[in-house]
Structure 1
Amino acid sequence: MAAPRRTRAMRPGTTFSVILFGLPTLFSLPKQAHAEDPPIATVTVTARKEPVVRKLDKTVHDVAAMPRAANGTAQDVLQSTPEVSVTADGRIAVKGNDQVTVLVDGKPTATMSGEERAVALQTMSGADIASVEVITNPSAAYQANGGAIVNIVLKRNRRPGARAQVRASAADRGLWNAGWSGDMARKDVSVHGSLAYRRDGTQKWRRSAVDWHDPSGHAAGDGAGDEGGDGTRYSLQTSGVFVRRIVRSAALGIDYTLSDTDSVSFSARHNSRRSRPLLDTLNVAGSGTGETVYHRISEGPNEQSDDSASLAWTRQGGGKALKATVQRSRTTGLLDKSYRDVFVAPAYPTAYSHGATRSARRLDQATLDWSRLAGSGAVHGQWGMGADLQDEVNDLHNYQASIDASTGMETPDPDTTNGYKVKTTLAAAYLTNRLRYGQWEALLGGRFERMELQVGSAQTTLRTGHWQAFNPSLHLEYALAGNAALTLSYRRSLQRPDPRDLNPFTTYVDAQNLSRGNPDLGPQRLASWEIGTTATAAQLSGSLGAFHRTSRATVVDARSNAGDVLVTSKQNGGLARSTGITGSLDWTPAAALRLGVDGSVYRIALSTPDAAALVRQHGASGYLNFRAAYSAGQDHVSLDAHVQAPAITPLGRNGSTSNVNLTWKRALTGSLDLTVNASDLFDGSKRTYRTGTATFRQAGFDHFVARRVYLGFVQKIE
């Protein structure tokens, strides 16, 4: 006899309405109800949703009722999600894999791509998120663009009636946020929307020291400030800034049922962010013959605006489902890089420079997904197929000019003033087949992708590249006795270059750094294997697994020296491998207490080009997440703690970081909650780093101070 299969968890607050007609009435009345029909008795059964649901190809974490999400951000929510690691500056990893694609409702958006993603997550309201899907090895149905996927599923309440929620919180240094969300559903139409205003801020501290090797072959000094006369040159940067942002956001969604089988849905979102940070960077540069000390002071402003809209049509019935979606998203940004140099030694007149980077990204997407139940006898399953068309355009313009203090005239720097466009066209088709036979369940898939990259200046196309690949995926599960199973998964995929890395020109970053793109970059080719086991008992559930990941044609940094300024470009040619074990354990010793832990230990091997040699290095790393939640009467307390061990990077190493967050929620009334969120209690977000190449050594740290206490409330209106 086949072992019983694990049941799927119910949806949050799932409500089943059981209509008791009575058998004679059921078979004699027509489908339509009439005014003279007798009242219909309704029995409502409510089930509590499981916080974690493990599926064949993904793990779904319910975060709708997470106290930290009520007045927090999307980054706060992801930081508290098992298997996910998020640093204070917004870098995401899944089970140690930092090649992560972030989707919203299963689709990519312009906002969640590139360097803007970190700011978007730090300012997106966590109260809008219903669940987070963690997909370590995506099936062929997903355009993974590399490694793992984190899918943010937004709330869409279709229960009949009207309801709303008002929330607000405040912290020190004049930081506060307020938001409203509501929904209404009547007959065939449901409408939901939200408005939010946020004044947030982050203290940032940075230090970077670079020792340059003399071209004649002299060794570098031991650190900044070395004046030993051996030809070593050095530079040192230190800075501190408190970035205050004003964030405005709005969202609207409409769902309309056309018939018993057809429905349409429309959604639109808008976000705008603005900051004006006063950044004072102390620069020290010199050699054994002299030293220059000056402050580079800049004040912004920096702006970003995001818009997205999507329209979807769905038909379901007869064991078949067809969904067509069109979506457009756009993000624009302005990063003001104007500054003045105030010299300390030697005493020179103050120098002025005007600079800015303007960027615009547009992503148009059309998808078609079809599925059909299939099978006979002992074999049951579901076929799926679909098509995905994407057109992404990135426009970037850089301007840098010196200003004559006496006349105000600007002289553009031809080396760092430029404009270029990157157009990416992606066409993909996939086929999947989910099969169930006895104790076996399998999800087989294949995805064919064709990619075209065009890189050009404002007037002409400089480079055009084409790539195509067939990427298979495999997910297997074998049910053991009880609620246990063995799992196996495999995925191969392409990861296209970041458009900023394709910049054919040089861009100013700061006094110590310039960036130079490489329009000849090609996509990375990644593959991932996972094998594991899962088990569930009365009060315990856990998993244990192992993985092996490889990356070919890996994009790595290529660094050079231009007048004591570090010029960073990109190139293909690196190789990367990581192998490790992962595990998780959730324990519910009592109805009021939940405990959980997950972590991973892995070994990384990197081969990175440096000058004329290939540098090979390897090292161990890992992470550990712990979480606890306790409820007693009107109070709910939750804690989540995270530790990321040191790890190697191409030609360098990053230090460890930690993060501990505590949340308390008290129900003052049936509809009013008091919330207290304490983030990064022990201020463990400081990350050190060091890099060593054939021409320089660099060491420093980035410290994004995330320690803060928010006091707020949530008022429900029904």
Structure 2
Amino acid sequence: MTGTVVAHDSGEALGYADVVLYRSADSMFVAGTVSGTDGRFVFTSVAAGNYYVECRFIGYSVTRSPAFRLGSQKPVDLGTLYMHPSFGHLDGVVVEGRRPAYVQHLDKRVFNVGTDLMSSSGSVSDLMRNIPSVTVDVDGKVSLRGSENVTILLDGKPSTLMSSRTRADVLRQMPAADIERIEVITNPSAAYKPDGVNGIINIVRKTQGKAGLSGGLSANVGTGGRKNATASAGFKTGRLNLFASYGIRRDLYETDIHDRRIRNGNAIPYVMQQTAAVAHPLSNIVRASADWNITRNDRLQLSGGFNSRGFARHDNIYNTETDANHNIGYQGRRCRDDDESVKQWEVATVYAHTFGRGHKLTVDYGYSSLEGQVDNRYSTFSTDGSSKDNTQI
């Protein structure tokens, strides 16, 4: 059995069209083939019976031949099967683009924040755990390539929020949804004043994109009493962009340490110590900014931030000293109650003027303040029932 597949509109033969042979009684598939470059197809070794064929080709409607009968003697030629172009109407086409998660530049590596669950509900500290060469330990301390001697910038500028004393709490409080990208600079140039640092991490925050009023509210609850919430609002006109946000975070830190030591040459050689500590840090972060495009070439930025952190901590340290025969020489407990507080704020202003071909003049001023207080009270209890209080501020 043979036939030829031809385009109805142009009269040209359609090569490599799909041709399928079906049984007429029940539309059961029998055999399939592909037309040659001249549009001709051939079926061989087909049992006698009633059949039809269907031709398929991209851009053309399915063409079905009339039913025919194959006998055992005379071959069948279906002649020319014409295929008509198919036309469709689309309501619209949506093209979506997505930035790559990682981009390598000559002087830095850029990690674009995605749209996964971590990027929408986690913190900046959670994001950094997914960046190669950056490590965030259980206490929130950030290290780059194994070193904690790293500078962290906000929008390319130093910030008291990122001081070594408070940045762990700030990064855990700052919502990942507010971040556009994180830049890791392992070989910083002189423009960053990198003396004595192992590298720089620059956190670039999102800016108000569309004109009008916008805002957002997010809250997360975790195990062990951990919870946080963030609210933000922005307003943008043709030349003015205002933004403000507030975040609060409550954590629970629990520590259980067991230590056993042997002192050689001592009458009481064995020392066993167990430390059980519980802490409840509470932090608040407020941020506000104003961006004013005065003219086409002049721009003024004002920004400010405030961070407060309270840290209530209670430790119990149990000490037991025994001799070689396991006789107790000393047994006691030392309690520590620690109330810490940190308050810091900063304001900054930047004026930028562009002129000529690619020239830019920038004048900036910043002021920051950091105030911290530590109030430790120690109480020691021994086996004889005596106790001693020591307050250290």
User: How does the TM-score come out when normalised to structure 1?
Assistant: 0.39
Quote the residue 1:100 is aligned against: 150
What is the rounded CA distance, in whole Å, between the counterparts of 2:96 and 2:235 in structure 1?
Answer: 21
**Is 2:296 aligned against 1:254?**
no
Quote the residue 1:240 is aligned against: 276
Quote the residue 2:377 is aligned against: 338
**Is 2:350 aligned against 1:300?**
no
SS of the equivalent of 2:103 reads strand
| Residue among 326, 329, 346 paired with 2:368 | 329
SS of the equivalent of 1:276 reads strand
- Shift of the 300–189 alpha-carbon distance from structure 1 to 2, 3 Å rule, reads same
Q: How far apart are residue 272 of structure 1 and its match? A: 1.2
Q: How far apart are residue 230 of structure 1 and its match? A: 4.7
Quote the residue 1:167 is aligned against: 218
SS of the equivalent of 2:252 reads strand
**Matched AA of 1:152:** I
SS of the equivalent of 1:313 reads strand
- Shift of the 277–70 alpha-carbon distance from structure 1 to 2, 3 Å rule, reads farther
CA offsets, 1:530-550, max 9 Å, x none? xxxxxxxxxxxxxxxxxxxxx
Quote the residue 2:256 is aligned against: 205
What is the rounded CA distance, in whole Å, between the counterparts of 1:329 and 1:247 in structure 2?
Answer: 18
Q: How far apart are residue 93 of structure 1 and its match? A: 2.5
CA contact (8 A) 1:275 1:302 kept: yes
| Residue among 303, 310, 314 paired with 2:352 | 314
Q: How far apart are residue 300 of structure 1 and its match? A: 2.2
- Shift of the 265–114 alpha-carbon distance from structure 1 to 2, 3 Å rule, reads same
CA contact (8 A) 2:111 2:183 kept: yes
- Shift of the 111–192 alpha-carbon distance from structure 1 to 2, 3 Å rule, reads closer
Quote the residue 2:42 is aligned against: none
CA contact (8 A) 1:273 1:304 kept: yes
SS of the equivalent of 2:251 reads strand
Gaps of at least 5 residues in structure 2 are 1-93
**Is 2:166 aligned against 1:116?**
yes
- The percent identity for this pair of structures is 25
Quote the residue 1:184 is aligned against: 235
What is the rounded CA distance, in whole Å, between the counterparts of 1:321 and 1:64 in structure 2?
Answer: 32
Q: How does 1:627-706 map to 2 (within 5 A)?
A: none
What is the rounded CA distance, in whole Å, between the counterparts of 1:151 and 1:235 in structure 2?
Answer: 46
CA offsets, 1:27-69, max 9 Å, x none? xxxxxxxxxxxxxxxxx99743222222211111112645324
**Matched AA of 1:201:** L
- Shift of the 51–339 alpha-carbon distance from structure 1 to 2, 3 Å rule, reads same
Q: How does 1:285-684 map to 2 (within 5 A)?
A: 291-317=329-355, 318-343=357-382, 345=383, 347-356=384-393
What is the rounded CA distance, in whole Å, between the counterparts of 1:286 and 1:113 in structure 2?
Answer: 44
**Is 2:107 aligned against 1:68?**
no
- Shift of the 147–234 alpha-carbon distance from structure 1 to 2, 3 Å rule, reads farther
- Shift of the 172–47 alpha-carbon distance from structure 1 to 2, 3 Å rule, reads closer
Q: How far apart are residue 207 of structure 1 and its match? A: 4.1
**Matched AA of 1:75:** S
Gaps of at least 5 residues in structure 1 are 1-43, 210-222, 357-718
| Residue among 73, 77, 81 paired with 2:131 | 81
CA contact (8 A) 2:173 2:247 kept: no
CA contact (8 A) 2:152 2:162 kept: yes
**Matched AA of 2:238:** K
CA offsets, 1:85-105, max 9 Å, x none? 111122322233443112222
**Matched AA of 1:240:** A
What is the rounded CA distance, in whole Å, between the counterparts of 2:138 and 2:149 in structure 1?
Answer: 17
- Shift of the 286–143 alpha-carbon distance from structure 1 to 2, 3 Å rule, reads farther
What is the rounded CA distance, in whole Å, between the counterparts of 2:334 and 2:266 in structure 1?
Answer: 28
Quote the residue 1:277 is aligned against: 313
CA contact (8 A) 1:111 1:329 kept: no
**Matched AA of 1:340:** S
CA offsets, 1:567-623, max 9 Å, x none? xxxxxxxxxxxxxxxxxxxxxxxxxxxxxxxxxxxxxxxxxxxxxxxxxxxxxxxxx
- Shift of the 283–118 alpha-carbon distance from structure 1 to 2, 3 Å rule, reads farther
| Residue among 203, 222, 228 paired with 1:152 | 203
- Shift of the 340–135 alpha-carbon distance from structure 1 to 2, 3 Å rule, reads same
Higher percent of residues as strand: 1
CA contact (8 A) 1:199 1:245 kept: yes
What is the rounded CA distance, in whole Å, between the counterparts of 1:168 and 1:242 in structure 2?
Answer: 24
- Shift of the 198–97 alpha-carbon distance from structure 1 to 2, 3 Å rule, reads closer
Q: How far apart are residue 120 of structure 1 and its match? A: 3.1
Q: How far apart are residue 111 of structure 1 and its match? A: 3.3
Q: How far apart are residue 125 of structure 1 and its match? A: 3.2
What is the rounded CA distance, in whole Å, between the counterparts of 1:207 and 1:156 in structure 2?
Answer: 48
Q: How far apart are residue 351 of structure 1 and its match? A: 1.0
CA contact (8 A) 2:213 2:233 kept: yes
SS of the equivalent of 1:338 reads strand
Quote the residue 2:177 is aligned against: 127
- When the two chains are superposed, the root-mean-square deviation of aligned CA atoms in Å is 2.7
- Bigger-Rg structure (1/2): 2
CA contact (8 A) 1:247 1:274 kept: yes
**Matched AA of 1:246:** L
CA offsets, 1:445-504, max 9 Å, x none? xxxxxxxxxxxxxxxxxxxxxxxxxxxxxxxxxxxxxxxxxxxxxxxxxxxxxxxxxxxx
- Shift of the 164–354 alpha-carbon distance from structure 1 to 2, 3 Å rule, reads same
Quote the residue 1:668 is aligned against: none
**Is 2:98 aligned against 1:48?**
yes
- Shift of the 98–287 alpha-carbon distance from structure 1 to 2, 3 Å rule, reads farther
**Matched AA of 1:333:** G
SS of the equivalent of 1:299 reads strand
- Shift of the 348–58 alpha-carbon distance from structure 1 to 2, 3 Å rule, reads same
**Matched AA of 2:182:** V
What is the rounded CA distance, in whole Å, between the counterparts of 1:254 and 1:124 in structure 2?
Answer: 19
